[in-house]
Amino acid sequence: MEKKIDLTQTVYQLTQAYPELIDIMASLGFSEITKKAIRMSVGKLMTISQGAAMRGIGMEAVVKALEDNGFTVVGNHTKSDEPSSKIQEAPVTDTTQQIKSLLRRINEGESMESVRADFVSQFKDVPANDIMRAEQELISEGQSVNEVKKLCDVHSALFHGKNNDEDVYPHLHHGLHHDQEAMMVGQASENRDKTAELRAIDGHPLQTFYHENEAIVEALGNVLRALDGEEDVTDVLRKASGLAVHYAKKGDLIYPLLKTKHGIYGPSQVMWTIDDEIRAEFTTLLRQSAKEDGLSDDWKNRVKDLIGRAREMTFKENRILFPVCTANFTDEEWRQIYVDSKAYPECLGITIKTWEDGEALFREEKQRNSQPVTDAADELRVDMPGGSLTLSQLAALLDTLPLEITFVDAENINRYFNQPFSEKSFKRPLAALGREVFSCHPPKIEPMVRAIIADLRAGKRDSVSVWMEKNQRATLVTYHAVRDSQGQYVGTMETVQDMEEARKHFSQK
């Protein structure tokens, strides 16, 4: 019986028909194809040709490997013994050339708004493959992959309003890891109805996140209107910077959970970084506005670019991130997110409504925290060289210290947070307990945390101090190596201390 590979079929269809294809493709560099979840999601969206283009694998090599294994290859290709220059997946169209021109203009510094306006006027409907082909040609012509990746936000802008998730896909595949992002698109598409159901539940975290995004979009629009009017731009920009609360909740409650519990690492690797860049730019622009007598054209252009990036983030969240959360988070995880969200201030005036399912867990945790550490806490004592304490005394003592304390064990797992009575500088959601500490930090910070803990473990240093401004207050963060009586490393303690009062005290002398 002839074994025929039709390149117009999806990877899922082909591997269902020929399971042996999995090992053949894996040997060519399609490593993720061995994972069933990838085949069931990415595989349903993508052909072999598209996958090869994304991974930079020549179709000539793919066709040859298939033929060597007894397959007859049909579809959009030529036989492998013909010159490779004749192997084409599709002719380059005028549309492709026009899109390449638009992408080049963005990369050369022209404003997104200008290019977007031209795009809308020239195209009513552009297939996703044209975008992918245009980007691949830019790379083949010498444009660096990193430069092309910068177009992620532009792609998002170009595809606002499209209903086909395959048309949304191009703006994502350069922004995040290809296989992960395609899987996310598939999950998001399949879970839109369920997302709408959860969003309709009063107090559910998804409802709050969507409402916050509506408020963010409104605040960003106010900034643009202020730029064109007489209203104080700085004041409106400062109000819009309140989106930082929304971003903080994503960074603490969503990204790490997707990565550590559900194996979806794309958002934590890229979206988290973009969040931090947006927050940092708000801070920089507000600082500059306070120093300058007038707001320069350059400053205003940077504000417009910032507003564009922040708007694109709301689009990505609503269209992809939140439906992916719907697809993966359990009811228990949603309840924990609801409880942990209570520790954050309101974002742009959006109040968290009461969600009875989440309130049940909140009451349970509140009751548990108000009770002694154990039923026999007054009888159980911890004997130490400097004395002994009951468990309830020890817990109360640690919570009374004017420090935020985190203990990470020798396996880099979060094991303990104290619960100081004052407001914390850094939120510590209970859901983070039991997770690897590195998952709790943004990509730009993670390498530094890894290096510090490695030095403490190796004995190169006993502590590392980092001074910073946190919420406009002087803050000292110190990482301490924790060793037992034999000098063996048992973990790392992080302490966070508000030093604002000390700064004020000594500045007066």
pLDDT at 309 over 80: yes
Taking only Cα atoms into account, the Rg of the chain, rounded to an integer number of angstroms, comes to 27
> Are both 3-86 and 401-507 of the same fold?
no
> What does the pLDDT look like over 467-497, one tens digit per residue?
888 777 888 989 999 999 999 999 999 999 9
User: Per-residue confidence at 171, pLDDT binned at 50, 70, 90?
Assistant: very low
Architecture of the domain defined by 3-86: Orthogonal Bundle (1.10)
**What single-letter amino acid sits at 266?**
G
- The C-alpha atoms of residue 336 and residue 351 are separated, in whole angstroms, by 18
Query: Crossing angle, helix 112-122 and helix 94-107, to 10 degrees?
Result: 170
pTM: 0.62
At 248, give phi and psi (nearest 5°). Answer: -65, -40
CB-neighbour burial class of residue 232 (10 A; exposed 0-12, middle 13-18, buried 19+)? exposed
Residues contacting 392, CB < 8 A, separation 6+: 372, 373, 377, 378
Angle, to 10 degrees, between the axis of helix 356-370 and the axis of helix 331-341? Answer: 70
Dist CA 103 CA 139 (whole Å): 12
In the predicted model, what is the mean pLDDT of residues 193-219? 95
What are the extents of the domains in the chain?
Answer: 3-86, 94-175, 192-273+303-359, 372-400, 401-507
Rounded Cα distance between 214 and 42, Å, is 30
The more confidently predicted of residues 240 and 146 is 240
Which DSSP letter does residue 31 get?
A: G
Q: Which of the 8 DSSP states describes residue 347?
A: B
Residue 185 makes CB contacts below 8 A (sequence gap 6+) with 45, 165, 166, 168, 169, 172, 320
Give the pLDDT score at 126: 53
3-state secondary structure of 150: coil
The residue among 75, 125, 79, 70 whose CA lies nearest residue 99 is 125
For 102-124, write each residue's pLDDT tens digit: 766 776 777 766 776 676 566 54
Residue holding tokens 């030095």?
Answer: 455
For the domain spanning 401-507, the CATH number is 3.30.450.20
pLDDT at 87 over 50: no
Q: What percent of the chain has pLDDT over 70?
A: 71
Whether the predicted pLDDT of 81 surpasses 90:
no
pLDDT score for 373: 54
* CATH code for the domain defined by 192-273+303-359: 1.20.120.520
Q: Could you tell me which residue, 178 or 392, shows the higher pLDDT?
A: 392
